[in-house]
């Protein structure tokens, strides 16, 4: 094979490779645009749920239809009595510092149990002891945001039920560990803030934040597609008209 023929074949291979990369990058850009549309719709839905009037907490008949996409951050209201002797502390880091979420089972007036994240308790420090949480007795009424269970763990660490160490709000495992019987909701509720400033645990600290870098990713992929397309055009222009060896 002559050097000219070898050069033509090399340029053809490079042209095809550049075209393939152009199509790949363009496809990824289109995919990111679709993800951007989905994320914006999700953010709009969540903001609507948060600002909407509270609805009744879903009961057992509705549990199979409760999903993150359809119900996460929905404002709900419920009534019942707390089982303070079965509360669970889950490691947390908030705007108030490091500490724990206080997860307490609530036996609702409808007869099922739902875990309630009553709020944040700061950890003990050299400057101050950990505050003592208030434990209301009798029937309570509360509103909050419906949250989906967080199985497994968090902070790069798994939950350790046997050691009573929790890094995520894993509803099913907490319910089993605390011996909760009967119908237990597969979600939990983030309680709304109490009106008192010195009340512990401190509710209303739910952070509603969604990473939305899809536009940047899309522009990046389209820019790479343009560069690959330009490279394919340059390679194609350099191939002689007669490609036969």
Domain parsing of the chain, residue ranges:
3-44+212-238, 74-191
**pLDDT tops 90 at residue 197:** no
**β-pairing verdict for 113-122 and 139-148:** unpaired
**pLDDT tops 80 at residue 98:** yes
Q: How far apart are CA 132 and CA 8, in angstroms?
A: 79
- Percentage with pLDDT > 70 across the chain: 90
Whole-number pLDDT of residue 1: 53
- Percentage with pLDDT > 90 across the chain: 53
Task: Quickly list H helices, the chain.
Answer: 3-51, 68-71, 171-177, 214-238
Mean pLDDT (whole number) for 90-111:
93
């Amino acid at each position: 094979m002559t050097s000219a023929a070898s050069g033509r074949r090399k340029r053809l291979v490079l042209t095809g490779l550049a075209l393939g990369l152009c199509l790949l990058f363009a496809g990824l850009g289109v995919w990111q645009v679709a993800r951007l549309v989905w994320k914006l719709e999700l953010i709009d839905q969540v903001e609507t749920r948060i600002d909407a009037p509270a609805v009744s907490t879903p009961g057992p008949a509705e549990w199979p239809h409760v999903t993150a996409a359809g119900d996460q951050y929905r404002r709900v209201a419920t009534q019942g009595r707390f089982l303070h002797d079965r509360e669970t502390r889950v490691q947390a880091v908030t705007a108030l510092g490091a500490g724990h979420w206080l997860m307490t089972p609530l036996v609702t007036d409808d007869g099922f149990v739902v875990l309630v994240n009553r709020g944040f308790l700061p950890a003990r420090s050299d400057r101050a002891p950990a505050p003592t949480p208030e434990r209301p007795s009798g029937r309570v009424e509360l509103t909050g945001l419906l949250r989906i269970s967080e199985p497994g763990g968090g902070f790069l660490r798994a939950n350790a039920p046997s050691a009573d160490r929790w890094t995520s709000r894993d509803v099913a495992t907490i319910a089993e560990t605390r011996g909760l019987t009967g119908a237990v909701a597969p979600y939990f509720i983030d309680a709304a803030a109490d009106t008192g400033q010195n009340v512990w645990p401190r509710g209303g600290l739910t952070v509603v934040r969604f990473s939305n870098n899809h536009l940047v990713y899309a522009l990046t992929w389209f820019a790479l597609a343009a560069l690959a397309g330009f490279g394919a055009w340059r390679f194609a222009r350099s191939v002689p008209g007669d490609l036969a060896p």
